Amino acid sequence: LAKTTQPISMDSYEGQEVNITCSHNNIATNDYITWYQQFPSQGPRFIIQGYKTKVTNEVASLFIPADRKSSTLSLPRVSLSDTAVYYCLVGSDTGRRALTFGSGTRLQVQP
Amino acid sequence: DAGVIQSPRHEVTEMGQEVTLRCKPISGHDYLFWYRQTMMRGLELLIYFNNNVPIDDSGMPEDRFSAKMPNASFSTLKIQPSEPRDSAVYFCASSLASLNSYEQYFGPGTRLTVT
């Protein structure tokens, strides 16, 4: 799986938009980009997945530039409940379905 | 759906004892994963199954760890004998082959403490 690099931590305030960028310079042609969220004392939760350009769902947006060497998870108008660790993962759908988690980005939302 | 169910939620045991963690995946899901999370090592994949067959157990730390999936609705992770370094939160997750490749549903975890 391609190695990913993301900030260790970020701080924000309620109501702000938060963008977390993940670098994956060695992404392969078949690789997808997936983001998970983990609250304290809970298992990770799937947020969004994409291959190129932009993907949006009810929780977040995922922006992927043309070269796909990075991606940005965008959380609109965060609230205190968005305080969590966010993981960026890269992998291909070539049979191995297992996830390899990095250290993630710890997002702290302040009132 | 109740989601992925794990039991027990907390387990405290003494070194040398056998520990069995249990998991019930979401009905209809054909992949089941066992992960372990610690502060030092983060979230690690231990083993995963497809249609009840173990596919990749390269993450299992050593022979003290074993996992089984006797049917589509039940899996166990056993540690025998347990050691203090096995203390961690163990997560079970399941997924469906037809979903997005990496969309997995995690259970609430079992917090294991070995004294």
pLDDT one-digit tens code per residue, B31-77 = 999 999 999 999 999 999 999 999 999 999 889 999 999 999 999 99
Dihedral sign for Cα atoms in the order B51, B52, B53, B56 = positive
Reply yes or no on whether the pLDDT at A94 is more than 60: no
Cα–Cα–Cα angle for B74, B80, B84, nearest 5°? 110
Residue, of A28 and A82, whose pLDDT is higher: A82
DSSP A81: G
Q: Name residue, tokens 């979401």.
A: B26
> pLDDT tens digits for B5-17?
999 999 999 999 9
Sequence-ordered list of residues with C-beta below 8 angstroms from that of B99, at least 6 positions apart, any chain: none
Residues of chain A contacting residue B100, judged by C-beta atoms under 8 Å apart: 32, 34, 46, 49
d(CA A96, CA B85) in angstroms, rounded, equals 28
The helix or strand, by DSSP H or E, that contains position A50, with its residue range, turns out to be strand A45-50
The helix or strand, by DSSP H or E, that contains position B95, with its residue range, turns out to be strand B88-95
Residues of chain B contacting residue A91, judged by C-beta atoms under 8 Å apart: 101-102
> pLDDT tens digits for A21-78?
999 998 888 888 999 999 998 999 999 999 998 999 999 999 999 999 999 999 999 9
B109 touches chain A (CB under 8 A): yes
d(CA A89, CA A99) in angstroms, rounded, equals 7
Q: Using the CB atoms, write b or e for A37-50: b if 16+ within 10 Å.
A: bbeeeebbebbbbb
